Amino acid sequence: MASSKKVITREEWEKRLSSVKPKKEDMNKLVMNFLVTEGFVEVAEIFQIETGTEPDMDLATITDRMAVKKAVQSGNVEDAIEKVNDLNPEILDTNPLLFFHLQQQRLIELIRNGKIKEALEFAQEELAPRGEENHCFLEELERTVALLAFEDVSNCPVGDLLDISQRLKTATEVNAAILTSQSHEKDPKLPKLMKMLVWAQNHLDEMASYPRITDWSTTTLEDPSL
């Protein structure tokens, strides 16, 4: 049975693409939004000078935000908490989940550094009471404390908590909370547009055969099957 999909040739597709002329100013704003949201201050400053694109936030606030993020990524959670409170004490006061995750990260760092006695005391005094108030907190606490039961944490079921990706996860959560407190979007617009593009292409696959993107890093097009 012949396919009912419409076939769009590469020539026709590229002709349609070339007819779309996005404004350079809009593209620059997207890039600047990504730079300031992700905290690339120096690059944002250079980009501002070279393109004349104004950031939608004070670059000085980015430096403070990145100091918090860097502290978490380095395992200096206590320092990160102090910096967050210096920026805005309400961030942690109004976000118990974020505060718990920061305290959980403190516990992970104690375990990572072999401070077992201190880790147990911290878990009992600081995290256990929060676990009693919230079942989800208790599950995460139990999972973290389980690290103490294994001599070889690299092969244990909860070993991922000691991975650098856990620090990055916590740092990203803090970064988003600070942005929200400053009335900014917590995620850059560019990745959202990429997700929309992927969704649109998948949806179009159902209706037509066309030169689709197969490699998103290079935007390589694959000729339609005839």
Establish if 221 belongs to a structural domain. Answer: no
- How sure is the predictor about 1, in pLDDT bands with cuts at 50, 70 and 90? very low
Q: Decide if 201 is inside a domain.
A: yes
**Cβ–Cβ under 8 Å, residues 8 and 210:** yes
Residue 12 falls within a domain, yes or no? no
Mean pLDDT taken over the chain: 91
Residue 176 lies in a domain: yes
* Confidence class for position 20, pLDDT limits 50, 70, 90: confident
The pLDDT-based confidence of 216 (bands split at 50, 70, 90) is confident
- Percentage with pLDDT > 90 across the chain: 62
Tens-digit pLDDT profile for residues 169-212: 999 999 999 999 999 988 899 888 989 999 999 998 888 899 88
pLDDT for residue 2 is more than 60:
no
**Of residues 167, 178, 173, 158, the one with CA closest to residue 75:** 167
Domain count along the chain? 1
Token pair of 79, please? 């320092």
Q: Using an 8 Å Cβ cutoff, are 36 and 20 in contact?
A: no
pLDDT at 37: 92
Q: Six-digit token pair at 168? A: 């990055």
Question: Are residues 139 and 175 in contact, defined by beta-carbon separation less than 8 angstroms?
Answer: no
**CATH of residue 202:** 1.25.40
Q: Report if residue 194 sits inside a domain.
A: yes
Mean pLDDT of 15-38: 91
Instruction: Kindly report, residue by residue over 153-171, the tens digit of the pLDDT.
Output: 777 899 999 999 999 999 9
Which residues touch 130 (CB under 8 Å, ≥6 apart)? 96, 100, 103, 137, 141
User: What is the distance, to the nearest Å, from the Cα of residue 161 to the centroid of all Cα atoms in its chain?
Assistant: 17
Does residue 31 form part of some domain? yes
Is the residue at 119 inside a domain?
yes
How far apart CA 103 and CA 95 sit, in angstroms, is: 13
Nearest alpha-carbon partner for 103 in 56, 48, 173, 27: 173
Q: Whose structure tokens read 């201050």? A: 41
Containing domain of residue 122, as a range?
A: 25-206
Residue 112 one-letter amino acid: R
Whether 211 is covered by a domain: the verdict is no
